[in-house]
Amino acid sequence: MEKQIQTQVIRSSRKTLSMRITGPDAVEIRAPKTVSQAQIDDFIREHRAWLDKHMQIVNQREEEAAKLPPLTGQELLALSDKALMYIPQRARYFSSLLHVTYGRIAIRSQKSKWGSCSSQGNLSFNCLLMLCPQEVADYVIVHELCHRIEMNHSPRFWAEVEKLDPNYRAHRQWLKTEGSKLIARMEHARRE
């Protein structure tokens, strides 16, 4: 018998269906407004093998992360202070190489994002970047600054990222595999 999956459907003016695993038994489906529920159900069935495989990976990572000590509020504060010392100076450095400007920089304890760039050019970064290798933290800074050139993830955007970080694919992969363990440590801290 197949495991039940919790599904959240988000409809928009997009043209294609996409899915993203959001938890051990949960998936988010992004769908065009015109797609029926039956078409969404078919899409999930067609991708069931992929879903099962990747949900198993998510479960394994969560089990590994649960073995790590949760971060305390004091540790999160110390990471935020460290990020406030490191990230703005790196942002200044990389922005000069990219010839872009930006607004404010905020440091947050986020459980789903490593960084973001608003349409006004304000940047936000996760304090957990201070637990990542320096080149991974720098990749996230470069990634967000490149949104000041391309506010999307088009091939042109990735070409800009690659100019300053030729190894960005490896850094993205590190965040997917190891970064989830860091975020789980923060989530466990919030449950305590």
The answer to whether residue 22 scores a pLDDT higher than 80 is no
The whole domain housing 49 covers 6-66
**Single residue among 47, 66, 85 that ends a domain in this structure:** 66
Co-location of 101 and 147 in the same domain: yes
Co-location of 117 and 163 in the same domain: yes
- Check residues 161 and 57 and name the one with the higher pLDDT: 161
CA distances from 126 to 53, 60, 99 (A): 28, 23, 24
What pLDDT was estimated at residue 189? 53
Q: The sheet that has 18-23: what strands, in order across it?
A: 6-12, 26-32, 18-23
- The model's pLDDT over 34-68, given as tens digits with 9 standing for 90+, comes to 999 999 999 988 988 888 888 887 777 677 766 77
- The model's pLDDT over 172-183, given as tens digits with 9 standing for 90+, comes to 999 988 888 888
Q: Number of structural domains, the chain?
A: 2
Co-location of 96 and 164 in the same domain: yes
Q: Is 150 left (phi over 0), alpha (psi -120 to 50) or beta?
A: beta
Co-location of 110 and 58 in the same domain: no
Q: With respect to residue 49, please indicate whether it lies within any of the assigned structural domains.
A: yes
**Single residue among 15, 36, 66 that ends a domain in this structure:** 66
Co-location of 130 and 62 in the same domain: no
Co-location of 21 and 106 in the same domain: no
Co-location of 163 and 129 in the same domain: yes
CATH number assigned to the domain comprising residue 80: 3.30.2010.10
pTM (2 d.p.): 0.71
- Mean pLDDT, range 108-113, rounded to an integer: 86
- Mean pLDDT, range 107-124, rounded to an integer: 93
Q: With respect to residue 1, please indicate whether it lies within any of the assigned structural domains.
A: no
CA distances from 156 to 18, 20, 161, 187 (A): 21, 23, 9, 35
What pLDDT was estimated at residue 140? 98
Q: With respect to residue 104, please indicate whether it lies within any of the assigned structural domains.
A: yes
Co-location of 78 and 164 in the same domain: yes
CB atoms within 10 A of CB 83: 20
What pLDDT was estimated at residue 180? 80
Spatial separation of the C-alpha atoms in residues 17 and 1, rounded to whole Å: 26
| Contact by Cβ (8 Å): 147, 132 | no
Give me the chain's average pLDDT, please: 89
Co-location of 91 and 131 in the same domain: yes
Q: What band does 147 get if pLDDT is binned at 50, 70 and 90?
A: very high
Look at residues 117, 124, 115 and name the one whose alpha carbon lies nearest to residue 179: 115
What pLDDT was estimated at residue 187? 64
Spatial separation of the C-alpha atoms in residues 153 and 130, rounded to whole Å: 25
Q: What band does 191 get if pLDDT is binned at 50, 70 and 90?
A: very low
The two three-digit tokens of residue 61, written as one number: 């990572």
Co-location of 51 and 103 in the same domain: no
**Single residue among 66, 88, 115 that ends a domain in this structure:** 66
Element of type H or E holding 117: strand 115-117
